[in-house]
Structure 1
Amino acid sequence: MSEIRQNQFNICRGFLFLNVFNWAINPFQGKSNMAMIAMMMPILPGKKDTWLAMMAQMTVDNKAEADAIRTGAGLHERSFLQETPAGDFVILTFEGDDPAAGFAKMMADLPPEFAAGAMDVHGLDMAAPPPPMPTLIYDSRR
């Protein structure tokens, strides 16, 4: 597990967001000219090892299937583990032509066991509607 953690995740110590859920849309104007959605979810206390095991299954055992779901939704996903004194969080970014629509398609195409894992690790009911997207406050390229 530690090898996967070191090789698959960018791990930072410090503070990022302390909200339970934080979503943002950023019209990223880099080389890709793709839009981006960023979101952060808590890892419930005592569930980091469960989350790491889920990520190992997704990024090693089922990588081709996980990648195909995201590609089929028109998304490029990045997942980060953020460890803070206030608890651990997952930071996700999704880039694509229409990442909000792609995210909805990806969620619909995920296997049922993923929804059970999201409830266990994050307390996230994937059958419920997502929270509204917030307003972009700062963009260093605009």
Structure 2
Amino acid sequence: MELAKKSGYQFMLSTEAFNEIASVLRELEAATRAELTFFCDANGIPITHSGKVNDSDLASISTLTAANFAATREIAKTLGEDEGFQFLFLEGKERNMYFGNIGFDYLLTIVFSKSVALGMLRIYANRAVKQLAKILQHAHEKE
């Protein structure tokens, strides 16, 4: 898939693509009972989210998420996984986070309660990543 290649350039999402991405996040939040889902670029710039969070927290979490994924990508390269890891799971005392890499340029992050079944969340997250990749691929082709 072309999207998986590091593009190295920024582009503007159309209103249609932005709305489609926001819809995927809302559906994912509802299906998984996630506290927060958000979509950001690899630099940690938030694009859209679903769930309750204030803007300053979202900006901080997005930046730290991107840095975490960048570090993990370097670990993957060291281990011979040249394309990096597509998903990353962090387990906390009360909340968990699940990250999905969409190409090299975008990240999906899901914050959810410990009461949410991880297997179910993974199924929905994998589906959402595929949907987001399609939306972005289509947006790149239209550009």
TM-score range, shorter chain: 0.3 to 0.5
Q: TM-score, normalised to structure 1's length?
A: 0.32
Q: TM-score, normalised to structure 2's length?
A: 0.32
